[in-house]
Amino acid sequence: MPHPDRAPIDLAIIGGSGLYKFPGLENTTRQAVDTPYGPASGDVVLGDFAGKRLAFLARHGESHTLPPHRVNYRANLWALHSLGARRVVGVNAVGGIRGDMGPRVIVVPDQLIDYTHGRTTSYCDVEGAEVRHIDFSEPYTEALRLQLLAAARAANVEVIGGGCYGATQGPRLETRAEIARMKRDGCDLVGMTGMPEAVLARELGLEYACLALVANFAAGCGDEAEISIEEIFAHLAAATAEVPRILDAMLK
């Protein structure tokens, strides 16, 4: 049901690591949503941005208290859907595997491989629910991907279109051997939150695309023997600063 006293939501953003509040979001109200799946990561913040109505949800909570495997993905997407959102952009911090996907690069992937385990990956996972087998050949909504890419280019933000996102369990980073295997599998990026978010969005009939912000080269892909968490957050902050510019260009 759309939010009763407000215009319909044009776009929902799920913010990942480093994006806990959406810069430039004005006239905000907070909405706690009861879901059949338990609590979402926090309140949904509704507000105006670029003349449009936006909903924002911090995936890990506004104080980053939820690790990737404890995020209630079902509740998050349900909450956004129940408020009337129909288009969702997931912003995800990732490690780069492909050589041209180094720190601070922004990618809009077009494929994914799921290496996570023990996460609830379907709304069917409820006693008595109808079992549905959805098509997931193309895990992201192509029209929304193309809008993001065109907007990034219009805003003069460098972006790479396409690439395969490998979703790992976390919260630890991967071993070099794990990343070498993912590379052989065809992964270009590695992150911990891309699934089951994408498939749950599909089950709800939401348009969904991922804006992947590269924070570091994945294990064994860069020059460093170890990955520094401080550097990850510094690179992420730089890439995150471009996100509102991209969305501003997309919504105008």
Binding site for ligand HPA (CB under 6 A): 93-95, 168, 173-174, 190-192, 215-216, 218, 232
Is there a contact between 101 and 183 (Cβ–Cβ < 8 Å)?
no
CB closer to ligand HPA out of 113 and 154:
113
Whole-number minimum distance, CB 190 to ligand HPA, in Å?
4
Residue 116 to residue 69: CA distance in whole angstroms = 8
In the bound complex, what is the minimum distance in angstroms from residue 127's beta carbon to ligand HPA?
Answer: 34
Shortest spacing between CB 141 and ligand HPA, in angstroms: 23
* Distance in Å, CB of 193 to ligand HPA, minimum: 8
The nearer residue to ligand HPA, 46 or 192, going by C-beta atoms, is: 192
> Which burial class, exposed, middle or buried, applies to 175 when counting CB atoms under 10 A from its CB (0-12, 13-18, 19+)?
exposed
Residue 63 burial (C-beta neighbours within 10 Å; 0-12, 13-18, 19+): exposed
Instruction: CB nearer to ligand HPA: give 55 or 189.
Output: 189
| Distance separating alpha carbons of residues 14 and 242, to the nearest angstrom | 15
**Residue 179 C-beta-side C-alpha neighbours within 13 Å:** 21
Closer Cβ to ligand HPA, 10 or 114, answer by number: 114
Closer Cβ to ligand HPA, 40 or 94, answer by number: 94
**Nearest distance from C-beta of residue 102 to ligand HPA, angstroms:** 12
CB of 229 to ligand HPA, least distance (A): 9
> What is the SS3 assignment for 216?
strand
Residue nearest to ligand HPA (CB): 95
| Residue 218: CB minimum distance to ligand HPA, A | 4
Segments of the chain assigned E as strands: 11-15, 26-31, 44-49, 52-58, 87-96, 106-108, 111-114, 159-161, 164-167, 189-191, 207-217
Residue 88 or residue 94: which is nearer to ligand HPA going by CB? 94
Amino acid at residue number 168: T
Q: Which of 84, 30, 37, 35 is nearest to 58 (CA)?
A: 30
Q: Cα dihedral sign for 67, 73, 74, 80?
A: positive
Nearer residue to ligand HPA within complex by CB, 54 or 221: 221
